[in-house]
A = this chain, B = another copy of it.
Protein backbone atom coordinates (compact mmCIF):
# COMPACT_ATOMS: atom_id res chain seq x y z
CA UNK A 1 0.00 0.00 0.00
CA UNK A 2 2.86 2.42 -0.59
CA UNK A 3 1.55 3.53 -3.98
CA UNK A 4 -1.81 4.57 -5.34
CA UNK A 5 -3.12 3.21 -8.63
CA UNK A 6 -4.91 5.86 -10.64
CA UNK A 7 -6.50 6.18 -14.10
CA UNK A 8 -5.88 9.55 -15.71
CA UNK A 9 -7.57 11.24 -18.66
CA UNK A 10 -4.89 11.29 -21.38
CA UNK A 11 -6.88 12.70 -24.31
CA UNK A 12 -10.17 14.51 -24.70
CA UNK A 13 -11.89 12.48 -27.40
CA UNK A 14 -13.15 14.36 -30.45
CA UNK A 15 -15.38 11.52 -31.56
CA UNK A 16 -15.86 8.14 -29.94
CA UNK A 17 -14.13 7.54 -26.66
CA UNK A 18 -11.39 4.89 -26.72
CA UNK A 19 -9.58 3.03 -23.95
CA UNK A 20 -6.40 4.74 -25.14
CA UNK A 21 -7.86 8.05 -24.02
CA UNK A 22 -6.90 6.91 -20.51
CA UNK A 23 -3.70 5.82 -18.85
CA UNK A 24 -3.06 3.79 -15.72
CA UNK A 25 -0.38 5.26 -13.45
CA UNK A 26 1.17 4.50 -10.07
CA UNK A 27 1.44 7.53 -7.80
CA UNK A 28 2.47 8.14 -4.22
CA UNK A 29 -0.10 7.17 -1.60
CA UNK A 30 -2.00 10.32 -0.54
CA UNK A 31 -1.88 11.20 3.11
CA UNK A 32 -4.81 12.85 4.85
CA UNK A 33 -4.37 16.33 6.30
CA UNK A 34 -6.04 17.49 9.49
CA UNK A 35 -9.79 17.13 9.09
CA UNK A 36 -9.42 14.63 6.28
CA UNK A 37 -9.89 10.91 5.84
CA UNK A 38 -7.95 8.51 3.65
CA UNK A 39 -10.42 6.37 1.74
CA UNK A 40 -9.87 3.07 -0.02
CA UNK A 41 -12.08 2.61 -3.05
CA UNK A 42 -14.25 -0.50 -2.91
CA UNK A 43 -16.31 0.10 -6.05
CA UNK A 44 -16.84 2.81 -8.63
CA UNK A 45 -20.11 3.57 -10.38
CA UNK A 46 -19.78 4.33 -14.07
CA UNK A 47 -22.52 6.34 -15.74
CA UNK A 48 -22.89 7.59 -19.28
CA UNK A 49 -23.29 11.13 -18.00
CA UNK A 50 -19.57 11.25 -17.24
CA UNK A 51 -18.95 11.27 -20.97
CA UNK A 52 -20.41 14.79 -21.08
CA UNK A 53 -17.65 15.90 -18.76
CA UNK A 54 -15.14 15.23 -21.52
CA UNK A 55 -17.03 17.36 -24.03
CA UNK A 56 -16.38 20.93 -23.09
CA UNK A 57 -17.95 23.76 -21.24
CA UNK A 58 -21.55 22.83 -22.07
CA UNK A 59 -21.53 20.21 -19.34
CA UNK A 60 -22.50 20.71 -15.71
CA UNK A 61 -19.16 19.12 -14.85
CA UNK A 62 -17.28 22.20 -16.02
CA UNK A 63 -14.49 22.45 -18.55
CA UNK A 64 -12.71 19.17 -19.26
CA UNK A 65 -9.05 18.62 -18.52
CA UNK A 66 -6.39 16.07 -19.26
CA UNK A 67 -3.88 14.71 -16.78
CA UNK A 68 -6.40 14.41 -13.97
CA UNK A 69 -8.05 11.38 -12.42
CA UNK A 70 -11.24 10.38 -14.20
CA UNK A 71 -14.22 11.38 -12.08
CA UNK A 72 -16.71 8.96 -10.64
CA UNK A 73 -18.77 8.25 -7.55
CA UNK A 74 -17.25 5.66 -5.24
CA UNK A 75 -18.12 3.62 -2.20
CA UNK A 76 -15.02 3.61 -0.04
CA UNK A 77 -13.77 2.46 3.31
CA UNK A 78 -11.99 4.82 5.67
CA UNK A 79 -8.50 3.44 6.25
CA UNK A 80 -7.18 6.39 8.23
CA UNK A 81 -9.11 9.18 9.87
CA UNK A 82 -7.87 12.59 10.95
CA UNK A 83 -11.41 13.94 11.11
CA UNK A 84 -13.73 14.06 14.10
CA UNK A 85 -16.81 11.88 13.69
CA UNK A 86 -15.29 9.55 11.13
CA UNK A 87 -13.50 6.35 12.10
CA UNK A 88 -11.38 3.68 10.49
CA UNK A 89 -13.55 1.12 8.67
CA UNK A 90 -16.48 3.50 8.23
CA UNK A 91 -18.18 3.15 4.86
CA UNK A 92 -18.42 6.42 2.96
CA UNK A 93 -19.82 7.55 -0.37
CA UNK A 94 -17.45 9.97 -2.04
CA UNK A 95 -16.12 11.11 -5.38
CA UNK A 96 -12.70 9.52 -5.45
CA UNK A 97 -12.95 8.76 -9.15
CA UNK A 98 -10.90 6.09 -10.84
CA UNK A 99 -8.23 5.54 -8.22
CA UNK A 100 -7.54 3.10 -5.43
CA UNK A 101 -7.14 5.66 -2.64
CA UNK A 102 -8.04 9.28 -2.08
CA UNK A 103 -7.91 11.73 0.80
CA UNK A 104 -11.06 13.80 1.32
CA UNK A 105 -12.13 16.51 3.75
CA UNK A 106 -14.75 15.10 6.12
CA UNK A 107 -17.48 17.23 4.60
CA UNK A 108 -16.84 15.77 1.15
CA UNK A 109 -17.82 12.25 2.21
CA UNK A 110 -21.13 10.83 3.38
CA UNK A 111 -21.03 8.04 5.94
CA UNK A 112 -23.49 5.27 5.15
CA UNK A 113 -24.59 2.17 7.06
CA UNK A 114 -23.08 -1.21 6.27
CA UNK A 115 -25.23 -3.35 3.96
CA UNK A 116 -24.79 -6.76 2.36
CA UNK A 117 -23.23 -5.37 -0.81
CA UNK A 118 -21.83 -1.85 -0.35
CA UNK A 119 -21.53 -1.53 -4.15
CA UNK A 120 -25.25 -0.69 -4.18
CA UNK A 121 -24.15 2.69 -2.85
CA UNK A 122 -22.81 3.57 -6.29
CA UNK A 123 -25.81 1.97 -7.99
CA UNK A 124 -29.37 1.94 -6.78
CA UNK A 125 -28.41 3.81 -3.60
CA UNK A 126 -25.98 6.13 -5.35
CA UNK A 127 -26.22 8.86 -7.95
CA UNK A 128 -27.83 6.57 -10.50
CA UNK A 129 -30.55 5.32 -8.22
CA UNK A 130 -31.22 8.74 -6.75
CA UNK A 131 -31.41 10.14 -10.27
CA UNK A 132 -34.08 7.59 -11.12
CA UNK A 133 -35.94 8.28 -7.90
CA UNK A 134 -36.05 12.08 -7.98
CA UNK A 135 -36.29 12.43 -11.75
CA UNK A 136 -39.25 10.13 -12.03
CA UNK A 137 -41.13 11.11 -8.90
CA UNK A 138 -40.42 14.85 -8.76
CA UNK A 139 -40.07 15.80 -12.40
CA UNK A 140 -42.08 13.13 -14.19
CA UNK A 141 -44.79 13.00 -11.51
CA UNK A 142 -46.39 9.75 -12.68
CA UNK A 143 -49.91 8.86 -11.58
CA UNK A 144 -51.33 5.37 -11.28
CA UNK A 145 -52.51 3.89 -14.60
CA UNK A 146 -50.52 6.38 -16.67
CA UNK A 147 -48.08 5.18 -19.32
CA UNK A 148 -44.42 5.83 -18.53
CA UNK A 149 -41.72 5.40 -21.16
CA UNK A 150 -38.06 5.35 -20.21
CA UNK A 151 -35.17 5.35 -22.67
CA UNK A 152 -31.88 3.56 -22.13
CA UNK A 153 -34.17 1.42 -20.03
CA UNK A 154 -31.63 -1.31 -19.42
CA UNK A 155 -29.14 1.22 -18.08
CA UNK A 156 -28.20 2.03 -14.53
CA UNK A 157 -30.83 4.73 -14.21
CA UNK A 158 -33.42 3.37 -16.63
CA UNK A 159 -33.85 -0.07 -15.16
CA UNK A 160 -34.67 1.53 -11.81
CA UNK A 161 -36.98 4.19 -13.28
CA UNK A 162 -39.12 1.48 -14.83
CA UNK A 163 -39.35 -0.50 -11.63
CA UNK A 164 -40.24 2.54 -9.51
CA UNK A 165 -42.92 3.47 -12.06
CA UNK A 166 -44.35 -0.04 -11.76
CA UNK A 167 -44.49 0.40 -7.98
CA UNK A 168 -46.55 3.53 -8.62
CA UNK A 169 -49.08 1.58 -10.66
CA UNK A 170 -48.06 2.73 -14.12
CA UNK A 171 -47.85 0.92 -17.42
CA UNK A 172 -44.11 0.91 -18.18
CA UNK A 173 -42.41 0.68 -21.55
CA UNK A 174 -38.64 0.72 -21.94
CA UNK A 175 -36.60 1.50 -25.01
CA UNK A 176 -33.18 -0.04 -25.45
CA UNK A 177 -30.76 -1.11 -28.15
CA UNK A 178 -31.06 -4.88 -28.21
CA UNK A 179 -33.84 -7.44 -28.18
CA UNK A 180 -32.02 -9.43 -25.53
CA UNK A 181 -31.98 -6.49 -23.14
CA UNK A 182 -35.60 -5.77 -23.91
CA UNK A 183 -36.61 -9.32 -23.10
CA UNK A 184 -34.86 -9.12 -19.74
CA UNK A 185 -36.64 -5.88 -18.88
CA UNK A 186 -39.96 -7.64 -19.28
CA UNK A 187 -39.10 -11.05 -17.84
CA UNK A 188 -36.84 -10.06 -14.95
CA UNK A 189 -37.86 -6.53 -14.05
CA UNK A 190 -41.60 -6.48 -14.72
CA UNK A 191 -41.71 -3.92 -17.54
CA UNK A 192 -44.96 -4.20 -19.52
CA UNK A 193 -43.17 -3.93 -22.86
CA UNK A 194 -39.89 -2.98 -24.45
CA UNK A 195 -39.03 -1.50 -27.82
CA UNK A 196 -35.71 -1.74 -29.64
CA UNK A 197 -34.84 1.71 -30.98
CA UNK A 198 -32.62 0.15 -33.61
CA UNK A 199 -35.62 -1.50 -35.25
CA UNK A 200 -36.40 -0.02 -38.64
CA UNK A 201 -39.98 0.35 -37.57
CA UNK A 202 -39.26 1.84 -34.16
CA UNK A 203 -42.00 4.46 -34.35
CA UNK A 204 -44.67 1.90 -35.16
CA UNK A 205 -43.40 -0.44 -32.45
CA UNK A 206 -43.46 2.38 -29.91
CA UNK A 207 -47.01 3.23 -30.87
CA UNK A 208 -48.06 -0.40 -30.53
CA UNK A 209 -46.43 -0.62 -27.11
CA UNK A 210 -48.23 2.52 -25.92
CA UNK A 211 -51.83 2.12 -27.08
CA UNK A 212 -53.01 4.88 -24.74
CA UNK A 213 -50.22 7.30 -25.65
CA UNK A 214 -47.45 8.40 -23.31
CA UNK A 215 -47.98 10.47 -20.17
CA UNK A 216 -44.49 10.53 -18.74
CA UNK A 217 -41.22 10.15 -20.60
CA UNK A 218 -38.00 9.75 -18.66
CA UNK A 219 -35.43 10.76 -21.25
CA UNK A 220 -31.92 9.43 -20.93
CA UNK A 221 -31.05 9.70 -24.58
CA UNK A 222 -32.44 12.70 -26.43
CA UNK A 223 -32.07 12.32 -30.18
CA UNK A 224 -34.32 10.12 -32.28
CA UNK A 225 -36.03 8.40 -29.35
CA UNK A 226 -37.07 11.74 -27.91
CA UNK A 227 -38.29 12.80 -31.33
CA UNK A 228 -40.42 9.69 -31.70
CA UNK A 229 -41.81 9.87 -28.18
CA UNK A 230 -42.82 13.52 -28.59
CA UNK A 231 -45.29 12.54 -31.29
CA UNK A 232 -46.94 10.00 -28.99
CA UNK A 233 -47.14 12.17 -25.88
CA UNK A 234 -50.56 12.80 -24.39
CA UNK A 235 -51.96 16.18 -23.51
CA UNK A 236 -50.39 17.53 -20.31
CA UNK A 237 -47.59 14.97 -20.55
CA UNK A 238 -44.30 15.44 -18.69
CA UNK A 239 -40.81 14.80 -19.98
CA UNK A 240 -38.07 14.46 -17.39
CA UNK A 241 -34.83 15.34 -19.19
CA UNK A 242 -32.15 13.36 -17.43
CA UNK A 243 -29.43 12.84 -19.99
CA UNK A 244 -28.52 12.88 -23.61
CA UNK A 245 -26.59 9.68 -24.08
CA UNK A 246 -27.26 9.71 -27.84
CA UNK A 247 -25.20 12.90 -28.00
CA UNK A 248 -22.41 12.23 -25.52
CA UNK A 249 -19.99 10.23 -27.58
CA UNK A 250 -19.35 12.95 -30.14
CA UNK A 251 -18.15 16.53 -30.15
CA UNK A 252 -20.76 17.60 -32.70
CA UNK A 253 -24.20 17.11 -31.13
CA UNK A 254 -27.14 16.86 -33.50
CA UNK A 255 -29.96 19.40 -33.76
CA UNK A 256 -32.96 19.25 -31.49
CA UNK A 257 -36.10 17.24 -32.12
CA UNK A 258 -38.74 18.47 -34.51
CA UNK A 259 -41.83 19.16 -32.52
CA UNK A 260 -40.01 21.45 -30.09
CA UNK A 261 -41.63 23.77 -29.34
CA UNK A 262 -44.68 23.21 -31.59
CA UNK A 263 -45.87 19.98 -30.04
CA UNK A 264 -45.15 21.29 -26.56
CA UNK A 265 -47.67 24.05 -27.19
CA UNK A 266 -50.38 21.96 -28.80
CA UNK A 267 -50.20 19.23 -26.18
CA UNK A 268 -49.25 21.44 -23.22
CA UNK A 269 -46.24 19.30 -22.54
CA UNK A 270 -43.80 20.12 -19.77
CA UNK A 271 -40.20 19.28 -20.52
CA UNK A 272 -37.88 19.76 -17.60
CA UNK A 273 -34.21 19.13 -17.10
CA UNK A 274 -32.86 18.16 -13.71
CA UNK A 275 -29.68 17.16 -11.94
CA UNK A 276 -29.82 14.86 -8.99
CA UNK A 277 -27.52 17.15 -6.98
CA UNK A 278 -30.40 19.60 -6.59
CA UNK A 279 -32.05 17.08 -4.28
CA UNK A 280 -28.99 16.47 -2.08
CA UNK A 281 -30.80 17.51 1.08
CA UNK A 282 -33.21 14.60 0.58
CA UNK A 283 -30.71 11.88 -0.32
CA UNK A 284 -30.85 10.14 3.06
CA UNK A 285 -34.61 9.68 2.94
CA UNK A 286 -34.56 8.52 -0.65
CA UNK A 287 -31.76 6.04 0.09
CA UNK A 288 -33.80 4.57 2.92
CA UNK A 289 -36.80 4.16 0.66
CA UNK A 290 -34.75 2.56 -2.09
CA UNK A 291 -32.98 0.27 0.35
CA UNK A 292 -36.35 -0.85 1.65
CA UNK A 293 -37.48 -1.69 -1.87
CA UNK A 294 -34.27 -3.62 -2.53
CA UNK A 295 -34.53 -5.58 0.71
CA UNK A 296 -38.12 -6.62 0.06
CA UNK A 297 -37.35 -7.52 -3.53
CA UNK A 298 -39.76 -4.87 -4.84
CA UNK A 299 -36.84 -3.58 -6.88
CA UNK A 300 -34.07 -5.60 -8.47
CA UNK A 301 -30.94 -3.51 -8.56
CA UNK A 302 -28.90 -5.08 -11.33
CA UNK A 303 -25.12 -4.78 -11.29
CA UNK A 304 -22.95 -5.31 -14.31
CA UNK A 305 -19.37 -5.60 -13.06
CA UNK A 306 -15.84 -5.16 -14.33
CA UNK A 307 -13.03 -6.01 -11.95
CA UNK A 308 -9.98 -3.83 -11.29
CA UNK A 309 -9.01 -0.27 -12.17
CA UNK A 310 -7.16 -1.46 -15.28
CA UNK A 311 -10.55 -2.44 -16.70
CA UNK A 312 -12.18 0.92 -15.99
CA UNK A 313 -11.62 2.45 -19.46
CA UNK A 314 -12.96 -0.67 -21.17
CA UNK A 315 -15.93 -0.69 -18.81
CA UNK A 316 -16.77 2.90 -19.78
CA UNK A 317 -16.25 2.48 -23.52
CA UNK A 318 -18.43 -0.62 -23.46
CA UNK A 319 -21.09 1.23 -21.47
CA UNK A 320 -21.24 4.01 -24.06
CA UNK A 321 -21.73 1.33 -26.72
CA UNK A 322 -24.67 0.01 -24.74
CA UNK A 323 -22.98 -3.07 -23.35
CA UNK A 324 -24.44 -2.96 -19.86
CA UNK A 325 -27.62 -4.13 -18.22
CA UNK A 326 -28.11 -2.41 -14.89
CA UNK A 327 -25.46 -0.39 -13.13
CA UNK A 328 -21.94 -0.68 -14.46
CA UNK A 329 -19.63 -1.07 -11.52
CA UNK A 330 -15.88 -1.40 -11.27
CA UNK A 331 -14.99 -3.52 -8.26
CA UNK A 332 -11.68 -2.35 -6.89
CA UNK A 333 -11.40 -3.90 -3.43
CA UNK A 334 -13.53 -5.83 -1.01
Chain A interface (Cβ < 8 Å from any Cβ of B): 58-60, 219, 222, 226, 239, 241-244, 247, 253-275, 278
Contacts and interface: CB of A to CB of B under 8 A. Distances in A.
A273 B261 contact: yes
Given A253-B262, A254-B258, A256-B259, 11 more contacts: A222-B262, A239-B261, A243-B265, A255-B255, A260-B260, A260-B271, A261-B273, A263-B273, A264-B273, A268-B273, A270-B270
A201 to B, nearest CB: 21
Contact of A275 (B241, B247, B261, B268): B268
- Integer count of this chain's copies in the complex: 2
A206 to B, nearest CB: 18
Nearest to A238: B272
A271 B268 contact: no
Contacts of A260: 222, 256-257, 260, 271
Contacts of A256: 255-261
Nearest to A271: B271
Nearest to A272: B270
A272 B263 CA distance: 10
A61 to B, nearest CB: 9
A253 B265 CA distance: 14
A53 to B, nearest CB: 11
A334 B256 CA distance: 48
A59 B254 CA distance: 26
Contacts of A226: 261
Contacts of A265: 60, 241-244, 273-275
